A and B are shown apart, each in its own frame.
Chain A
Amino acid sequence: MTSTLKGVTLKGSAELVADFFSFGINSILYQRGIYPPETFTKASHYDMSLHITTDAKLKNYLTNVVSQLKEWLFECTVQKLVLVITCLETNEVLERWQFDIECDKSAKESSAPREKSLKTIQDEIRSVIRQITATVTFLPLLETPCAFDLLVYTDKDLVVPEKWEESGPQIIDQSEEVRLRSFTTSIHKVDSMVAYKRTNSV
């Protein structure tokens, strides 16, 4: 992969970002208790221990999404990935994790690898995932059983693949938004943000 090349190609970058989403989504699902904690197993990645689901169905779903995402990342047609957490009973949106993706489309033309070491990128990714973990300090407790949904914002002219459907933005009204760290592979830049229901205080 890219580590031997000391640079990042478009393909490598797409893979890195897709990997990040796979681990990031897993950690959000674990941290926010969307799935029971015993269905997760620890895995070591980015020099830190992460929780990966063992639920076969969920795994399958995530692999599908991530591989599709990788394709879009490679084509530079994806703009946003949003993880929406909704209450199972009322379908109310409680949390919204938004990852804005900026693609440098010039990388599609020139295939020359960009100068950025894998280590720096991984460091950046690590700090984003750390911050996701740290958000429990201010996020409200999810009291009810919740479901999650993944939304992907792509360029307009894209053909909607099978198994995907168009969806609304699922915005939370009266939300509190917190920007998290961002990372860049110098081809794809990912900004993270979490929005949650505003507390009704003061």
Chain B
Amino acid sequence: MAEGGDVDWELSKENIQPLRRGRDISALRQALSQREEGPTSAINQQKQMFESELRTYDGDDPLSVWDRYIKWTEQTFPQGGKEGNLATLLERAVTRFTDEKMYHNDPRYVELWIKFAENCPEPLDTYRYMQAQGIGVRQASFYIAWSEEYENQGSYQKADHVYQEAFNNLAEPHDRLLQFHRALQARVSRQVFLKLENESSDEEPKQPERVSLADLKHRGKKKAIAPVNRTGTAIKNITRGLQSSGAPVLSNAANRQLVVFDENKAEAAGPSEATLESWLAPPPSKAKENEQKPGKWCDMKMPQKTKFGHSVMAPPPPKPTFQPFVEETDQPPTMTPCKINPAVNSVLSARKPSKEETPLKRLQEHHQQHKEAEAGKLQERSMYCKELLLSGATEFCFEELRAEHSFKKLAQGSQEEGGEGCHASAAAAAAAAAI
């Protein structure tokens, strides 16, 4: 019996992220047993293969490479996390095909979007963005994921609304949609039922009770006499002064229902939900910190360096108003010919939220650039294949790309010429040199 393999997954069960589709057990075992690092490991080689395929693919279904790559990543990096780079991959894949109308209702593409949304801090924003862009509006899986998100957040009415929308849009497959809609209704009704049961059990001891510190309605016209019966209607309902805790008690005592704002009812009264927000870009996939993305250099300011190697911030903050404590025996450092405030170097300021580079912003820029390019007023154009170099999770250099192309030609050459291998490789080498 293969006890060894079994133990492996059981020992690291906490480090395996469950997948909706389940895991391939052989891939899981392989991933758990291969812990070797370095560029020669099988995992890295396979990753490199996917990366180069992303760049050299010239068929008419570029999404398929991304789809396979992402699925492979999911299975191969069961812990998730940074090394798999799944979040980046999803973001790239999703952005890459935003403008490709032919993929908008491709189940694979919609699946990628849903995975991307689940990685975002605000999945609902992403779903709304998808709807506005028309991505997945004919796919049942999109509505199911969206509705589940609403349900998780407790807004059942909206979850139901999503299904209505799905039926209006004739999303496919219809059976699946119906099935999930029924399941949702069953869950909601069960919950309502349970709630009702709880409430009815609460209501039993609703005998009139006297309330402490409540104002009573007085009887008599000339002389105010306190009523004998001091429950229910005998209690004044006037609230005065600061009534933060008193008010609910009073209204409770008077058996009056508190008016609770119900967003679902307000929703029904207000404008219909179908109003689409104008999204410029998908919402951010996560709140990133301390990560700088490559950007323009021309309007960057390099920090000035003094001859002592300290970098000085541009506007030095004012001197501290307090006197720093200096021990009497402490000698001032002899080497301070420049008037640099030693406090300057260590001053930290809070990061300005407006300056933060979020994926949202990046995507927005990407989108706008694209639009400008279409309008023909793009002023900058990279005269090299920037897209190819930066497309996957890692960056390629020109030589790698060139090598990929020549290898491809080599393979083609040997296929065409069959047995005359020697000749073919010579021709391919010549071709490679010609690039």
B108 to chain A, nearest CB (A): 11
Q: Give the residues from 133 to 185 in chain B that come closer than 8 angstroms, CB to CB, to chain A.
A: 179-180, 183
Q: B residues engaging A (CB < 8 A)?
A: 1-3, 6, 9-10, 13, 16, 18-25, 27-28, 68, 71-72, 74-75, 179-180, 183, 186, 190, 194
Q: Give the residue of B9, B28, B71 whose beta carbon is less than 8 angstroms from that of A202.
A: B71
Q: Give the residue of A134, A141, A180, A182 whose beta carbon is less than 8 angstroms from that of B22.
A: A141
Contact (A179, B2) CB under 8 Å given A137-B16, A138-B16? yes
A126 at the interface (CB under 8 A from B): no
Q: Is B179 within 8 A of A134, CB to CB?
A: no
CA A182 to CA B1, docked complex, whole Å = 9
Q: Is B24 within 8 A of A199, CB to CB?
A: yes
Q: Is B10 within 8 A of A138, CB to CB?
A: no
CA A82 to CA B18, docked complex, whole Å = 24
B residues within 8 A CB of A179? Answer: 1-2, 6
Please, how many residues of chain A have a CB less than 8 angstroms from a CB on the other chain?
30
A22 to chain B, nearest CB (A): 23
Q: A residues engaging B (CB < 8 A)?
A: 36, 38, 89, 130-131, 134, 136-141, 143-145, 176-182, 191, 196-202
CA A178 to CA B26, docked complex, whole Å = 9
B144 — nearest CB in chain A belongs to which residue? A143
A residues within 8 A CB of B10? Answer: 130-131, 134
Most B CB atoms within 10 A — which of A140, A144, A178, A191? A178
Q: Give the residue of B20, B28, B180 whose beta carbon is less than 8 angstroms from that of A141.
A: B20
Q: Is B20 within 8 A of A140, CB to CB?
A: yes
Interface of B: prevailing SS: helix
A130 — nearest CB in chain B belongs to which residue? B10
Q: Is B71 within 8 A of A139, CB to CB?
A: no
B12 — nearest CB in chain A belongs to which residue? A137
A-B contact pairs, 21 of them (CB 8 A): A38-B194, A131-B6, A136-B18, A137-B9, A137-B13, A137-B18, A137-B23, A138-B16, A138-B19, A140-B21, A141-B20, A143-B180, A145-B183, A176-B25, A177-B25, A178-B6, A178-B25, A180-B6, A196-B22, A199-B23, A202-B71
Q: Give the residue of A196, A197, A201 whose beta carbon is less than 8 angstroms from that of B72.
A: A201
Q: Is A202 within 8 A of B75, CB to CB?
A: yes
Q: Is A140 within 8 A of B183, CB to CB?
A: no
A201 — nearest CB in chain B belongs to which residue? B71
CA A168 to CA B317, docked complex, whole Å = 81
CA A201 to CA B28, docked complex, whole Å = 13
A141 — nearest CB in chain B belongs to which residue? B20
A32 to chain B, nearest CB (A): 12
A residues within 8 A CB of B6? Answer: 131, 178-181
A residues within 8 A CB of B28? Answer: 138
A48 to chain B, nearest CB (A): 15
CA A196 to CA B9, docked complex, whole Å = 16
Q: Give the residue of B24, B183, B194 whose beta carbon is less than 8 angstroms from that of A201.
A: B24
A144 to chain B, nearest CB (A): 6
Q: Is A199 within 8 A of B21, CB to CB?
A: yes
A residues within 8 A CB of B9? Answer: 134, 137-138
CA A144 to CA B184, docked complex, whole Å = 11
